[in-house]
Homo-oligomer: A and B are copies of this chain.
Amino acid sequence: MTRTASNAATAEPDASSAAASGVEVGDNSLDQLIGYNLKRVYILLQMDFREALAADDLSARVFSALSVTVEHPGISQSDLARQLGIERSGLVAIVDLLEQRHLVQRVAVPGDRRVQALHPTDAGRETYARALATVHRHEEAFFDMVTPQERDQLLAILRKIRRTAE
C-alpha cells in the first residue's frame, strides 16, 4: 500500500477498465478448463452431500469408510486406507468415530496381533443401508438436470480416468 498507483507497472491502472458495471459471470478462461469446472462441481456436490447425510450424521469420508467395511467385513485398517486412497494415520479418527457410534468394531485377529480387523455391527449395516439409499436419492436429485445418458457418460469417463491415473 502507501504507493497509490502511478507509474508503478506500465499500463496506467485507472480503475475504469472493466469494473463499475456488472461483471458478467462465465466469460473466463477458467470456464474452459475441465479442472476448474471439476473443482466447482465437486464443491457443489460436497455441500449437497453434507446436507443429505446430515440426517444420519455422516460425513462423506465416514460414509465411504463404512461402505467399504460393510462390503468387506474383516478388512484391516491398512487395506481400508489403501482402498480409500488415504493414509493409515488419517483413517484412525474415522474408525474411532465409527466405533464410538457402535457402527463398526475393531476385532483382534488370531493369526496376527498387529492387525485390527474391522467388522460392521448390525447397527452399522442398517445405517449403511439407509445412508446408501439416501445417497442414491441425493445423486438422482443432484444430477437431475443431466440426462441419464449423460450421467452414464460422466460416470464412465470418471472411472476411466481413475483406472488409468490411479
Contact = CB atoms under 8 A, between A and B. Distances in A.
A35 B45 contact: yes
Nearest to A11: B122
A28 B74 CA distance: 15
A29 interface: yes
A127 interface: no
A53 B153 CA distance: 29
A77 to B, nearest CB: 10
A17 B146 contact: no
B34 A151 contact: yes
Contact of A83 (B25, B32, B39, B158): B25
Interface in A103-139: 105-111, 115, 117, 119, 121-124, 132, 135, 138-139
Nearest to A161: B41
Interface in A38-63: 38-46, 48-49, 60
Contacts of A106: 1
Given A34-B155, A35-B60, 7 more contacts: A9-B122, A19-B79, A23-B79, A27-B71, A29-B132, A30-B67, A41-B158
Interface of A: 1, 4-5, 8-11, 13-20, 23, 25, 27-46, 48-49, 60, 64, 67-68, 71-76, 79, 82-83, 85, 99, 102, 105-111, 115, 117, 119, 121-124, 132, 135, 138-139, 142-143, 145-146, 150-151, 153-155, 157-162, 164-166
